[in-house]
Amino acid sequence: MDAMDGKIVEILQNDASLTNIELSERVNLSPSSCLRRVQRLKDQGILLKTVALADPDKLNRSLMAIVDVTLERHSADARQGFMEQLLLEPAVGQAYSVTGETDVLLIMNLADMKEYQSICERLSNHDPNIVKFRTLFAMERHKYETAIPLNVT
C-alpha cells in the first residue's frame, strides 16, 4: 500500500458515500486509476465493506452495554459454542477475545434493560463455560468513530 492508497483509505473511512469521480478529484487521480486502486484495496481485504454509521439514539438503541465475560475453560473448543451464539445476537455489535482476567469483551446497542437481561440469559443458559458477566453501561458518548488512523504521530 503506497501513500496514494493511504489517502484513498483515509478519505473513504470518513465518507464512503463519495462517488468515484469525487474521490478521484480529492486524491488528484484519474477516475479510472482511482477505481482500480479502490478495487485492489477491496481485493486485498484492506477495505472490508462499505457501511453507514447510524445514530443509535435515533434508532431507539441508546442503551450501550460494554460486557466482559469470564470463561472457565480457555481452549478453542470451549469457546466455540459461546462465539457461535454471539453471532446470532443482533444487539452484539462487536465481540473481542481479550487478554487479562476477562476473556471476551462485548459491545451492545440495546433498546432497554429488558433486552439486555434477555440476551444475558440466552448466552449464559447456552454455555456452562461462562463463569460471569460484568457489565458497564455507557452514560454518555464522547467519540463514535470507526476510522482506523493511518498516520499516527
pLDDT in tens, 23-57: 999 999 999 999 999 999 999 999 999 988 999 99
**Is the separation of the CB atoms in 61 and 111 below 8 Å?**
yes
Domain topology for 3-43: Arc Repressor Mutant, subunit A (1.10.10)
Question: What are the residue boundaries of the structural domains of the chain, listed by start?
Answer: 3-43, 56-137
Which pLDDT score is estimated for 59? 96
Report the predicted TM-score, pTM, of the whole model to 2 decimal places: 0.82
Are 3-43 and 56-137 in the same CATH fold? no
Residue 28, sorted as left (phi over 0), alpha (psi -120 to 50) or beta, turns out to be: left
Going by their DSSP bridges, the two strands 104-110 and 92-97 should be labelled as antiparallel
The CATH code of domain 56-137 reads 3.30.70.920
- pLDDT 10s digits, 82-138: 888 889 999 999 999 999 999 999 999 999 999 999 999 888 877 888 999 899 999
| pLDDT band, very low/low/confident/very high, at 153 (cuts 50, 70, 90) | very low
Buried (b) or exposed (e) across 110-147, using 16+ Cβ within 10 A?
Answer: beeeebbeebbeebbeebebbeebeeeeeeeeeeeeee
Let me know how long the chain is: 153
Question: Residue 152: is its pLDDT beyond 80?
Answer: no
